[in-house]
Amino acid sequence: MNDISTVDLIYILAFCAGGLAFALGPFVLVYFLAPRWTRNTLDKTGQAIECGMDPIGDAWIRYSAVYYLYALVFVAFAVDVLFLFPVALVYGRHFVIRDLVELTIFVGILSLVIVYAWKKGVFEWKRR
């Protein structure tokens, strides 16, 4: 059984510190760089100033489930693109047939998202 060395622990701590810096860094930067007058400002009606426009209606409204299906389709194709760009850069260098089969299976599985959305009626524009 291998023991964890001191160098390994330093690497682990460095990665944890880097992750915390990336997670908390933007909050700290905004706190120090934002103008003081924008913090906790309310307009005359007591509502927070967002983008200069008065809010219309209540923030707690119901959305149709179709919008969540749009989000799922978007996420599926975002993952598809994120995978296919690096693969396209190294495609055909060593194992061309295996790469083609793997890409075909991957795109085939992700195309099931389109079939699912089609069956759910996501692509039908109906007025509700």
Residue 30 has pLDDT above 90, yes or no: no
Query: Cα(32)–Cα(25) distance, rounded to whole angstroms?
Result: 11
Given a contact cutoff of 8 angstroms between Cβ atoms, the answer to whether 92 and 108 are in contact is no
Domain boundaries, the chain: 6-120
Residue 75 has pLDDT above 80, yes or no: yes
- Higher per-residue pLDDT: 29 or 3: 29
Average pLDDT estimate for 88-115: 82
Q: Any idea which architecture 6-120 has in CATH?
A: Up-down Bundle (1.20)
Q: For residue 123, give the nearest of 88, 73, 84 by alpha carbon.
A: 73
The greatest distance separating any two alpha carbons of the chain, rounded to the nearest whole angstrom, comes to 68
Residue 18 has pLDDT above 90, yes or no: yes
pLDDT at residue number 25: 95
Can you give the pTM of this predicted structure? 0.41
Q: Is the dihedral of CA 20, 24, 26, 28 positive or negative?
A: negative
Task: Find residue 42's DSSP bridge partners.
Answer: 48
- Higher per-residue pLDDT: 124 or 16: 16
